[in-house]
Amino acid sequence: MTRLFLNSTTSNRKGSIVQTMILIAISMLWLVTPLSGQENPYQVVYHWGELPNGQTMGIVTGVQPDPDGEHIWIVERCGANQCAGSSQHPIHKLDSEGNTVKSIGAGVFAWPHGFDMDADGNFWVTEGAPLGDARGEAGMERGMGHQVIKINQDGEVLMRLGEPGEAGDDGEHFNGPAAVLAAPNGDLWIADGHRGGNNRVMKFSADGELLLQLGGGVEDTSRESARFNDPHDIKMDSQGRLFVADRGNNRIQIFNQEGKLLDIWTQFGRPSGIWIDAEDKIFVADGMSGEQWNRGWERGIRIGDAKSGYVTEFIPDYEVPTGSGIEFLASDHQGNIFAGQVGRQRFEKYMRTRP
């Protein structure tokens, strides 16, 4: 048995070490407490927005504030979780009261998923069901799916990337593309694809030329840095950095315009959707944490600083999980958050109640 003899000097050192450890523990508690203990700064309206003719709100898979600051555009799956065979419009323009003032896109999409507005006000929408996913079968039967489609605000299709109804992993095919980002310079970044898809991120020129690919390969899931497992969303900050919601790996990966990995963040839980506002405030939708997918983490919306990575606020999802929770979100100029609840099939508005 080893015996430890402490003289007065050693005792003083031990006391100093203990004091230091206590101070560290207190500081860590201070860092954690504001996220879990502070008052939620948002009040939620669970069912927000009215579609025309009493149409049921389908699963909302994309939100885009209009540049006019007075309207919100959404894409939803035609009153349900499917648009294939439907005569309903999936893209809607809502005013500040939630009233629909315009609807477009009927018959264009089968299973719309990713959604972005470019600098000219046109929309880019992905068809997000990968090969083998039952949710994509109705579209495949109609020769639809596996595309990224550009549509203007009058509902006219301007461009298509990918072959309709044909999955693949080369430069001309997608396999359930999950998200699209239209960069200010006209480049397109596409996260391809959804669960069971290609697990890659691709960069295209404005005219559809493939410029860059990160990760990839059919069902090529990976935990390696700069590779992916279900890349579900992609956004850009004011510095031009790309934030990829690498959902299956419970992390956000950050890249520069040349595809160089800059950082990996795990502090935002299991990210399904990302929004970054003009002030580089980042909003991350975590609708899948919990016992099934990410034990030890709580579902909800984490809000932070896209420059530092600090999480500053958390909106918890207190309801009993029903499938996936919030997956898609955006904020407006007033700081309100608009989010699509997938498992509960509803569109929500989170109104900020304090600074």
What is the rounded CA–CA span in Å between residue 126 and residue 145?
A: 8
How sure is the predictor about 264, in pLDDT bands with cuts at 50, 70 and 90? very high
How sure is the predictor about 13, in pLDDT bands with cuts at 50, 70 and 90? very low
What is the rounded CA–CA span in Å between residue 14 and residue 323?
A: 51
Integer angstrom CA distances of residue 57 from 4, 63, 110: 70, 14, 16
Q: What was the pLDDT predicted at 39?
A: 66
User: Is 333:35 a contact under the CB 8 Å cutoff?
Assistant: no
Q: What was the pLDDT predicted at 208?
A: 95
Q: What is the mean pLDDT of the chain?
A: 89
For residue 38, what are the contacts with CB-CB under 8 A and spacing of at least 6? 313
What is the rounded CA–CA span in Å between residue 172 and residue 192?
A: 12
pTM: 0.89
pLDDT tens-digit readout, 211-230 = 999 997 655 789 999 999 99
How sure is the predictor about 28, in pLDDT bands with cuts at 50, 70 and 90? very low
Q: What angle do CA 131, 329, 155 make, to 5 degrees?
A: 65
CATH fold label, 42-352: Neuraminidase (2.120.10)
Q: Where along the chain do its domains lie?
A: 42-352
**Residue 318 burial (CB count, 10 A):** 9
What is the rounded CA–CA span in Å between residue 249 and residue 271?
A: 9
**Residue 206 burial (CB count, 10 A):** 14
For residue 193, what are the contacts with CB-CB under 8 A and spacing of at least 6? 128, 130, 174, 175, 176, 177, 178, 199, 200, 231
What is the rounded CA–CA span in Å between residue 268 and residue 53?
A: 39
User: Is 175:217 a contact under the CB 8 Å cutoff?
Assistant: no
The pLDDT of 163-179, averaged and rounded, is: 96
Q: What was the pLDDT predicted at 217?
A: 61
Query: For the chain, percent helix, then strand, then coil, each to nearest 5?
Result: 10, 40, 50
| Exposed / middle / buried, residue 328 (Cβ in 10 Å: 0-12, 13-18, 19+) | buried
- Which tokens hold the place of 300? 């909800």
pLDDT tens-digit readout, 145-169 = 999 999 999 999 999 999 999 999 9
Q: What was the pLDDT predicted at 318?
A: 84
